[in-house]
Each structure stands twice: as structure tokens, then as C-alpha cells.
A and B are shown apart, each in its own frame.
Chain A
Amino acid sequence: MSNSPYVIVGAGPAGVIAAETLRTNNPVTPVLMIGEEKEAPYSRMALPYLLAEDIKETGTHLRHTDGHFDTRGIEIRNDRVSAVTAAEKSVTLASGGTQAFSKLLIATGSHAIRPPIPGTDLPGVENCWTLEDARAIAAKASKGSNVVLMGAGFIGCIVLEALAARGVHLTVVEMEDRMVPRMMDQTGGAMIKSWCEAKGVTVLTSTRIEEIAANNGALKLTLGDGKSLDADLVVCAAGVKPNIAFLEGSGINTDTGVLVNDRMQTSDANVFAAGDVAQGIDFSTGANEIHAIQPTAADHGRTAAMNMIGIDTPFQGSLSMNVLNTLGLITSSFGQWDGVAGGDTAEITDNDRFRYVRLSFQDDVLVGALSLGMTQHVGVLRGLIQSKVRLGHWKERLMANPLLIMEAYLARTQGSVFGI
């Protein structure tokens, strides 16, 4: 059975990077990537820019060179895997038949969910998750139309930017008490809200949508306070769930996603998982968490591929982090931005200029950070957290002025010649 290919289920970033890594490091074993969508492998990250008409569909593609996959000997098949029989090292295909594998990578990502609200199945209610969704939104979100965005989480806020660029009348409805509650605290969330409102977007936080109803070819939404909203289009950004239903009965351990160890290996030694579907090691806590972000998908894909080949490659865990642009206001979050027990927190806030930086420390090590209105050198926040640089006397300087992050980093990594 040594001729069986490496099989990758899913053709998103984690799957593609794994396929390329397998090919680079093992030119012998065939690589088969099975993708459910009838598209060239593309990035969901790029869909907002397609909606904003900054790019064409080809601009969303993960790879741009003609024959990129063919020349590397990576076969892409359009099909859906309906079951995994790990003991027989085989997967069942929705089109019929089975496919044997030598090692299997589950990189099936996640799907958009609709909240349990009456009317979310009506025409005119769209997700914004796949290329097909983006086409449907583009067809309906014309200049001057009334659009309601359900959910102001990270994905909702990325879509917000794209919808605003299309010149629609936009209302955002968020159940929780602030925008991007998973990546921003009250201070930052409030600043994003007032920024968006100043740009002409109506933002309703702590607001539920009770019902969506058809209304003369358009839609009418009833809110928790009894008020209503008219909409030509409702875009649903109410969250995503990992695609793990096909693993039922496979014996592969799952929780919210597929549970993996620090080699990206599942409970079956021949089966690995990567990307948004994988509940992998969190750098900050050591627990199994899903970090549905591009850098984690890339790290997972590479690490899984190396271990599938048999080149033992541990993974130090992924850092939860995000960067967001809401109508020109740029925010980022890293690690344990909400602080840790017994740790210190430093903040600097300038409401008028929409600037905010918050740093969280454990002893003299940075463990989390938020930034708002900062575009220069933000990556060094990741560097400080992930390299666990001991800040020494620079911690006190950062407590006094959190903007000195680059200086602290340089002083503590390269400043020894000066004794700074």
C-alpha cells in the first residue's frame, strides 16, 4: 500500500501549504487534495477586497502561476469526503467509491452558521463566507441599497468595510455589548463603534434580531426593542463552525474541532488536522483551541506535512492574533490581551485621535496586547510575546509609556552593546 497518496481533505490555505510542503520534502509519494468547492484554491481572507471591487476573482486565488499545482505533481479533485475509515486508511467519497491514503490531512475549515432566528432562510439573507456567497452579495449590495449586517465580530467587521465601500446604507446589529468582543475590550470596542458611526454606519450593539420577514420583495427585521429595520439584503456574519460532521463514527477524537497534539496528529496516528478545523495547541495557555487565522493555518499546514512525511517537527503552539481595518481605523490584538491573574496591565488612550494601546504582562514578560490606530511595527508585539523576552527594567518604561514597544524590543535583543 506504499503507493497510496497523501490525501488532503480541503483546498484552503492549510491544505495548499501542506500539499506544497509534502511535495518539497517528499517528491515520491503522490499528493491528492480533495476540495468541495468548484473553484481554484482561493483565500476567504481576500473576499472582502473582491466585494469592495479592489480585486477580481483571480485576485483571491492562493496561487497565481499557471499550472502551479500540476507542475508540482499535486492533484486537485473536486469532490466531498463523506466518511473516514481510519482503520482501513481509506475515505469515502460523496461521488461514490473510496480513496486509499498513506497519511490523511483533515483541512476542511469551517462553515458559516445562521442564528436560530425565524426568517434567516429567506431569499435576500446571505452569508459572507465562500466565493459563491460573495457573488450573491455583490449582485444585491448595490449603491444606495439598505443592507443589514448581522454580527460585528471579526468577520462581520471585515465585511462591514467592503459593504461600506460599495456605497450601501449600512446598519450593523450586534448581540453583544461592543464590536469585535473577541478581539477588543470595552475601550477599544467603543472607539471602533464611534469611528464607524462618524463614517455614516449605524451600529446597534446589545441588540437582538428577533425575526426577519419578507416585505414587498424586500425584508423587514424586528429588533429586540420592538423597532424594525427595512433591508434589501441581510448579510449574516453570526459565526462559523468547524467542518467535522463527516468524522462522526470515524473514531477520530473531536471537540469543537479535531483534537490534535503538538505534531498536528489526531487520535489516529495516520490522520492529521490543520487550519480552522484543527483544535491545536494554544501558545499562551497550552490548551487545545481553534485559532481560525491565516498564520495559524500556514503553520499548521507546514507542521502537519512534515510530521506526515515522518520528519519529527514539534509545534510550539499558535498565538491568537488578529488585525482589522474598520473604515480606515486599524486595530490588532495578540495573545492574552485581557490580562492574566497576578499580571500587570499598561494602557495609553487618546479618544480624540483614536489611539489606544494596552499591554498585558506576566512578571516582566509581555503576554498580550491590543492596539488601535497603530500601523507601524505592530508585529513586534508578536515577537515580544512569542519569544518571551524578559523585559527587565524596560517593563517599568513600558508601564509608563506603552508606545515604546520597538525600543524595548531592540534594547532587550540588540542593545547589549550599549547596555541600554
Chain B
Amino acid sequence: MQKALLIDPEKCTSCLQCELACSFEQEGVFNPAKSRIKVFEFEHGLKAIPYTCTQCSEAWCLHACPVEAITINEATGAKEVNPNTCVGCKVCTIACPFGTINYNADSGKVIKCDLCSGDPACAKACPTDAITYVDANWTGYDRMQEMALVGHGRPAKGAAQ
């Protein structure tokens, strides 16, 4: 059973532990600017929504990549960027309608959430269970993804991978 990040904004206190954990796991530094999960604050931080790639089945980034640098990790279902193949053209960054794959000027490549190979650091670091790593068929996750996808035209079903 594949798992997915479930985000419950009502539990988020905007402590940014997830961003620190992500940047440390992925980049080796405690720097929210390098995190692949981002907490967006509303009403001066009283309300907050942690946000990252939902590993959507449409995989806009993957299909837009001209050099096959984005592939699916069969074990986790994550869409992963191969930095050795990525040329840094950034087409995926405009193709992803969620804005969750971004260019990293330091490396000249794009970066996105890869679920930390099945052990996401953000979920482990979250003290309030606003971010949990759960079975992907949990209905709340589906509902969240549905909300995120409201109105988006989707690529043809049965799209080649």
C-alpha cells in the first residue's frame, strides 16, 4: 500500500519545524528557503497551511520534462527528479499547476518533494500531527487532492509514463 502526506491545516501552528526538517534532510542545512514543503501563513500566522507536492497522478511535471529527468519511484509513488539528467530548463516549474516544483539557482536544477524515499522528514518533525504519512487511500487525502484539483483539466486518461 502506497502512502501519502496528509495535511491538516487546522492542526498547524506555523512552527516551521517541517521546513527546517525538510531542508536539513534534502540539502543538509537548516534553511526554510531550501525546504520543499512551505507553510503559508494567513492572518499574521494565526492560520497556516503547509503545502507541498501531492504526487498527483496527472504528473504534469513528469510529462512536461523534455529529457525524462522526472520518473516515478515505484515503491513510494513519488515523482522524483534525477539531478544528473535535469538540464534546468524549468519547463516543469510552469507546467505544474500547483507550483510545487521549483528551480534552485544554486544547483541549476529543479527540486520537489520526493517523500524522502518513504520516510518523510516533515511528518516526523511535525509536533502537532498537522502533517502525517498515511495510507494513500485514506479519504481525507483524496478529498484534499480533489480540492487542489478543482477545475483543472487533466491529461488524457491512460497517459503513457
Partner pick for B97 among A59, A325, A386, A420, CB 8 A cutoff: A386
Determine if A323 and B90 form an interchain contact, defined as CB atoms under 8 angstroms apart. Answer: yes
Given contacts A23-B160, A377-B102, contact A383 B51 (CB under 8 A): no
Determine if B94 and A418 form an interchain contact, defined as CB atoms under 8 angstroms apart. Answer: no
Within 8 A of B (CB), among A43-71: 43, 45-46, 49, 54-55, 59-64
Determine if A413 and B150 form an interchain contact, defined as CB atoms under 8 angstroms apart. Answer: yes
Within 8 A of B (CB), among A181-219: none
The digit string for B1-26, where 1 denotes a CB below 8 A from any CB of A, is 00000000110000000000000000
Determine if B42 and A407 form an interchain contact, defined as CB atoms under 8 angstroms apart. Answer: yes
Determine if A25 and B158 form an interchain contact, defined as CB atoms under 8 angstroms apart. Answer: yes
Residues of B near A413 (CB, < 8 A) are 147-148, 150
- Is A293 an interface residue when CB atoms closer than 8 A count as contact? yes
Determine if A379 and B95 form an interchain contact, defined as CB atoms under 8 angstroms apart. Answer: yes
- Is A117 an interface residue when CB atoms closer than 8 A count as contact? no
- Is B40 an interface residue when CB atoms closer than 8 A count as contact? yes
Residues of B near A20 (CB, < 8 A) are 160
Given contacts A294-B64, A378-B94, A414-B144, contact A383 B40 (CB under 8 A): no
Nearest opposing residue in chain A for B148, CB measure: A413
A223 to B49 alpha-carbon distance, docked (Å): 56
Nearest opposing residue in chain A for B9, CB measure: A417
Determine if B160 and A383 form an interchain contact, defined as CB atoms under 8 angstroms apart. Answer: no
Given contacts A295-B64, A383-B99, A420-B43, contact A332 B151 (CB under 8 A): no
A306 to B156 alpha-carbon distance, docked (Å): 7
- Is B60 an interface residue when CB atoms closer than 8 A count as contact? yes
- Is A286 an interface residue when CB atoms closer than 8 A count as contact? no
Residues of B near A59 (CB, < 8 A) are 67, 85, 87
Q: How large is the interface on A (under 10, 10 to 19, 20 to 34, 35 or more residues)?
A: 35 or more
- Is B96 an interface residue when CB atoms closer than 8 A count as contact? yes
Determine if B9 and A17 form an interchain contact, defined as CB atoms under 8 angstroms apart. Answer: no
Interface size of B by CB at 8 A reads: 52
Determine if B91 and A45 form an interchain contact, defined as CB atoms under 8 angstroms apart. Answer: yes
Within 8 A of A (CB), among B126-161: 144, 147-153, 155-161
Partner pick for A375 among B40, B66, B91, B102, CB 8 A cutoff: B102
Given contacts A375-B103, A414-B49, contact A380 B97 (CB under 8 A): yes
Partner pick for B89 among A46, A298, A417, CB 8 A cutoff: A46
Residues of A near B55 (CB, < 8 A) are none
Partner pick for B99 among A45, A62, A380, CB 8 A cutoff: A380
Residues of B near A21 (CB, < 8 A) are 156, 158-160
Determine if B159 and A54 form an interchain contact, defined as CB atoms under 8 angstroms apart. Answer: no
A410 to B144 alpha-carbon distance, docked (Å): 11
The 12 listed contacts between A and B (C-beta, < 8 Å) are A17-B63, A43-B67, A46-B67, A62-B66, A298-B63, A302-B160, A376-B38, A379-B93, A379-B98, A380-B99, A383-B99, A386-B151
Instruction: Report B's interface with A, CB cutoff 8 A.
Output: 9-10, 38, 40, 42-43, 47, 49, 51, 60, 63-68, 85, 87-105, 108, 144, 147-153, 155-161
Instruction: Report A's interface with B, CB cutoff 8 A.
Output: 13, 17, 20-21, 23-25, 43, 45-46, 49, 54-55, 59-64, 293-295, 298-299, 302-303, 305-306, 311, 313, 315-316, 321-323, 325, 328, 330, 332, 334, 375-383, 386-389, 406-407, 409-411, 413-418, 420
Q: For the A-B complex with A49-B88, A298-B63, A379-B98 known, give 20 more contacts whose Cβ atoms are closer than 8 Å.
A: A21-B160, A43-B66, A45-B89, A46-B67, A62-B67, A63-B68, A64-B68, A293-B91, A302-B159, A306-B158, A313-B157, A316-B153, A323-B90, A323-B91, A330-B90, A375-B90, A375-B105, A379-B100, A386-B153, A406-B38
